[in-house]
Amino acid sequence: MGLLQRNCQKNYRILLDAMSRPGRVARLTGIAEETPFASALAMGRCLLDHEVSLCAIGNDSAPALQSALVQATGAATGPSERADFLFIVGDRGNGAVEHAKRGRPESPEEGATLVYCLEDEGTKRAPASVSQRLRIRLSGPGIAGTAGIMPEMAGIPQTEYEILMNVNADYPLGVDTFFVRPDGGVMALPRSTRIQVR
């Protein structure tokens, strides 16, 4: 088994674990922090190929990420409203999330997968964001008990939670979201997770 294959298998199990335990942070392996977008590329290598399309949006470095992903995986590119995988550089979707694919009632799985590639600033702002995270409550499949939990990952603006809450309001239609950090930290919010903002 080659190193690339090995990392893909390991990272897939980590992504699957994150998806089945929403709001918890797992850590991808084989991430060299000095490379920009190493976490996003590791996810891309694990999930993307020519059968799916992707779109990267966000700040000025989005085109660089998009071409790196295409080069590494051979995935097609498409507009954000038709892409299977939507990579968002930074912590704000800037209107693209609302228009991402949500699937059809007969095939809700056609809804897009969102990947927020967060930057390190979030962790530096940590003290402020704890009080902010306290206002968010997650519950549903994968989360023990009925009281709900606070998301473990810091630095995600409250407005993004509100947008995801609205986009996934018509369950089972909706989008499934990963948040990744440069150090490999990854947290998932599948559409089945109920988000409450107090």
Partner 1 sequence: MTPGLPSEATPPVADWRDAMPSNRHRYSYAFLDEGAKREIRRKMLKAVAIPGCQVGFGSREMPIARGWGTGGLQLTLALIGPDDVLKVIDQGADDSVNAVNIKKFVQRVTDVPLTTDTAAATLIQTRHRIPESPLGPHQLLVFQVPIPEPLRLVEPSERKTRRMHAEADYSRMWLYLYEDIVKFNEITVGARYPVIVNRRYLMDPSPIPRWDVPKLNRGEALFLFCAGREKRIYAVPPHTEVTPLSFEDFAFRVEDFHGRRCERCGAGHSFLDEVVDDESGRRTYSCSDTAFCDQRSRQNRQGSR
The verdict on 52 binding partner 1 (CB under 8 A) reads yes
In the complex, the smallest distance separating the C-beta of residue 131 from partner 1, rounded to whole angstroms, is 27
The verdict on 140 binding partner 1 (CB under 8 A) reads yes
The verdict on 28 binding partner 1 (CB under 8 A) reads no
Q: Per DSSP, what are the bridge partners of residue 177?
A: 114, 189
In the complex, the smallest distance separating the C-beta of residue 31 from partner 1, rounded to whole angstroms, is 17
Rounded to the nearest 5 degrees, what angle is found at the Cα of 34, between the Cα atoms of 53 and 74? 20
Q: Which member of 30, 90, 157, 172 binds partner 1 (CB under 8 A)?
A: 172
Q: Do the strands 185-189 and 25-27 form a parallel or antiparallel pair, or are they unpaired?
A: antiparallel
In the complex, the smallest distance separating the C-beta of residue 132 from partner 1, rounded to whole angstroms, is 25
| Residue with Cβ nearer partner 1 (32 or 144) | 144
Q: Which member of 42, 114, 191, 195 binds partner 1 (CB under 8 A)?
A: 191
172 prior amide bond cis, ω within 30:
yes
The verdict on 125 binding partner 1 (CB under 8 A) reads no
In the complex, the smallest distance separating the C-beta of residue 155 from partner 1, rounded to whole angstroms, is 23
Question: Dihedral, CA atoms, 142, 37, 183, 191, nearest 10 degrees?
Answer: -10
Element (H, E) at 90: none
| Residue with Cβ nearer partner 1 (185 or 190) | 190
Contact between 118 and 181 (Cβ < 8 Å) = yes
What distance lies between CA 192 and its chain's CA centroid? 14
Q: Which member of 8, 26, 65, 186 binds partner 1 (CB under 8 A)?
A: 8
| Residue with Cβ nearer partner 1 (1 or 32) | 1
Give every CB contact of residue 154 below 8 A, 6+ residues apart in sequence. Answer: 122, 123, 125, 126, 129, 130, 133
Total Cβ atoms within 10 A of residue 94: 12
Residues 84-103 close enough to bind partner 1 by CB under 8 A = none
- Residues in contact with partner 1 by CB under 8 A are 1, 5-6, 8-10, 12-13, 15-16, 19-21, 46-49, 51-52, 104-109, 111, 113, 140-145, 171-172, 176, 190-192
